[in-house]
Amino acid sequence: SKKTLILAIESSCDETSAAVIENGRVIKSNIVASQIKSHMRFGGVVPEIASRHHVEQITQIIEESLAEAEVTLDDLDAIATTYGPGLVGALLIGISSAKALALASGKPLIAVNHMAGHIYANQLVEELSFPLMALVVSGGHTELVYMPEDGVFEIIGETRDDAAGEAYDKIGRILNLPYPGGKKMDELAHMGQDVYHFPRAMIREDNLDFSFSGLKSAVINHVHNAKQKGTEIVPEDLAASFQASVVEVLTTKTAKALEQYPVKQLVLAGGVAANKGLRTALGELMAEKYPSVRFSIPPLSLCGDNAAMIGAAAYTEYCKGHFASNDLNAVPGLEL
């Protein structure tokens, strides 16, 4: 049987990555260079620094990915790149590299939506079954996505303000945790208790949307009040209380979505899919209430940004014959 090999490039934020993926399922290589250390002292991603690092790294990362997969440009069937959403300058580095390679090799170019990539990270674990529901939670997005079939996306619920990962990072900053605070908050949460019981915004509302800015303000107010009164803050309990609210809202709304849209599979996706509390709570929900719906989460190594997931999503576009032209541009606000 024919093997389709796609070289995929990802540079939308602070990871420079290139991967070679076979048939959208098998990782032949997946090289990820994280810039976190360079952005840490600024407490967030600095766009100009991100672009500069991408420029400096990308050629070598692509060469490494080809070498590790033991292929040359000639062996490839297509070259894929993320074209949005993300930082415009960062995106353009991956796009230009992909265009140059496509032009030089005569191979088709495939444009991939970064959020589709997060969802298709699950295809690197097992074949996806449609209709499918995805809970996508990252630093910039929190959305429930219904997929009636391969490559078709319908956003049925989304955050009206902050993304869940963004809220994690902002609270992490208040607690003086290194950027990005999400991972560390998750660790602290497991050492504390939900003693503060912060609000669960929109949880009973009859829609599939989210809101996390009120929760963020509640946590910030709590910290300010404690400082004013001179009372002690217990970071573990604060993290546990924050996480309990986020996880309960995400799982409750996912259950509501599953009632409205019967599906064969639920997938968790995005950087926040690495969250232990969320992985456990969703796993329990699915086992108790939806045992016949297949549930998958990417391994930790594929939750954060990487090119393997872009290669997985690109395969669907390849099979559908959806190719991009050489005037492909970055779309920073691209939606699914």
Q: By CB under 6 A, what part of segment 277-316 binds ligand KG4?
A: 304-305
- Asked if 305 interacts with Zn ion (CB under 5 A), we say yes
- Asked if 169 interacts with ligand KG4 (CB under 6 A), we say yes
268 touches which of ligand KG4, Zn ion, none (CB within 5 to 8 A by kind)? none
275 touches which of ligand KG4, Zn ion, none (CB within 5 to 8 A by kind)? ligand KG4
- Closest-CB residue for ligand KG4? 271
Q: Which residue has the tokens 């600024």?
A: 42
Distance set, CA 215 to CA 27, 104, 117, 161, 199 (Å): 39, 51, 29, 11, 6
Contacts of 270 (CB under 8 A, 6+ apart): 115, 118, 136, 137, 138, 141, 165, 303
Between CA 323 and CA 314 the distance in angstroms is: 10
Binding piece for ligand KG4, criterion CB under 6 A, among 48-56, 177-185, 201-209, 322-330: 177-185
**What tokens does 128 get?**
């996806």
Residue 196 is classified by DSSP as: S
DSSP string, 36-97: HHHHHTTTS--HHHHHHHHHHHHHHHHHHHHHHHT--GGG-SEEEEEEESS-HHHHHHHHHH
| Residue 275, marked binder | yes
What is the closest distance, in whole angstroms, from the C-beta atom of residue 331 to ligand KG4 in the complex?
15
Between CA 212 and CA 250 the distance in angstroms is: 11
- Among 121, 274, 324, 334, the residue binding ligand KG4 under the rule CB under 6 A is 274
Tell me the CB-side half-sphere exposure of residue 121, using CA atoms within 13 A: 29
Binding piece for ligand KG4, criterion CB under 6 A, among 29-37, 143-151, 210-218, 272-280: 272-280
Laid out side by side, the sheet with 142-147 consists of 154-158, 142-147, 132-137, 265-269, 294-296
What is the closest distance, in whole angstroms, from the C-beta atom of residue 325 to ligand KG4 in the complex?
26
Distance set, CA 120 to CA 24, 146, 173 (Å): 9, 13, 31
Q: Which residue has the tokens 């444009």?
A: 111
84 touches which of Zn ion, ligand KG4, none (CB within 5 to 8 A by kind)? none
What is the closest distance, in whole angstroms, from the C-beta atom of residue 145 to ligand KG4 in the complex?
14
- Asked if 186 interacts with ligand KG4 (CB under 6 A), we say yes
Q: By CB under 6 A, what part of segment 137-166 binds ligand KG4?
A: 138-140, 165
Q: How many residues bind Zn ion (CB under 5 A)?
A: 2
What is the closest distance, in whole angstroms, from the C-beta atom of residue 242 to ligand KG4 in the complex?
10
Between CA 282 and CA 252 the distance in angstroms is: 9
Q: How many residues bind ligand KG4 (CB under 6 A)?
A: 19
- Asked if 317 interacts with Zn ion (CB under 5 A), we say no
**CA 247 from centroid of its chain's CA atoms:** 16
Q: By CB under 5 A, what part of segment 221-280 binds Zn ion?
A: none
189 touches which of Zn ion, ligand KG4, none (CB within 5 to 8 A by kind)? none
Q: Please, are residues 320 and 11 in contact by the beta-carbon 8 Å criterion? A: no
- Name the residues that contact Zn ion, by CB under 5 A: 138, 305
Residue positions forming the annotated binding site for substrate? 136-140, 169, 182, 186, 275
- Name the residues that contact ligand KG4, by CB under 6 A: 13, 138-140, 165, 168-169, 180-183, 186, 270-272, 274-275, 304-305
Residue positions forming the annotated binding site for Fe cation? 114, 118, 305
